[in-house]
Amino acid sequence: MRVMGIDPGLRACGWGVIDVDGPRICHVANGTCRPTGTAMDVRLLSLHALLTEVLLRYAPDAAAVEQTFVNAGGQSTLKLGQARGIAVLVPAQAGIDVGEYAPNTVKKTVVGVGHADKSQILHMVLMQLPGCAPDSADAADALAIALCHSVHLQTRGRLAAAVARGAETSA
């Protein structure tokens, strides 16, 4: 299964793609989309085009996006929310279900601590994906989001299988 993680942003939107085969996880690619333009509509359109290009190139089976962190400034949060909307829209347009995770959930899943800092996230991403070289902190975060989603997808799959086995034995 190929999983794409997206760390939304208007200036820098990180993305990361991993392949998951049971317990084996391998880095495919990562990068940072840097939308052009100054007007909001132009930036959002640019972000949409850049993420669509990445999605078409790497053809993920699953995608996940980090939920918006609510800043003290309402305007900043609203702008980030618009970028996040594009990050959810692009895979949804391709027919891919999009997982959404709170920043603390990603950190807890990948690092083991819900309040890990950027350096701890990068360290664990490098440990779990040997040989990868994230091109920015945003790309490292996106890879962490992909790792988090892969863990949650596998857990859900095991749970569904267990429930199905239970239903068969009780029938």
Q: Do 16 and 134 form a contact (C-beta atoms < 8 A)?
A: yes
Two tokens at 171? 């029938």
21 noted as active-site residue? no
Backbone angles phi, psi at 127, to 5 degrees: -70, -40
**Residue tagged active-site, from 7, 41, 53, 117:** 7
Half-sphere exposure of 81 (CA within 13 A, CB side): 8
**Residue tagged active-site, from 41, 66, 100, 141:** 66
How far, in Å, are 41, 67, 107, 122, 138 from residue 119 at the CA level?
33, 20, 11, 5, 12
**Residue tagged active-site, from 97, 138, 141, 168:** 138
13 alpha carbon, distance to own chain's centre: 11
7 annotated binding-site participant: yes
53 noted as active-site residue? no
7 noted as active-site residue? yes
138 annotated binding-site participant: yes
Would you please indicate which residues are annotated as catalytic (active-site) residues?
7, 66, 138
Binding residues: 7, 66, 138
Binding residues for Mg(2+): 7, 66, 138
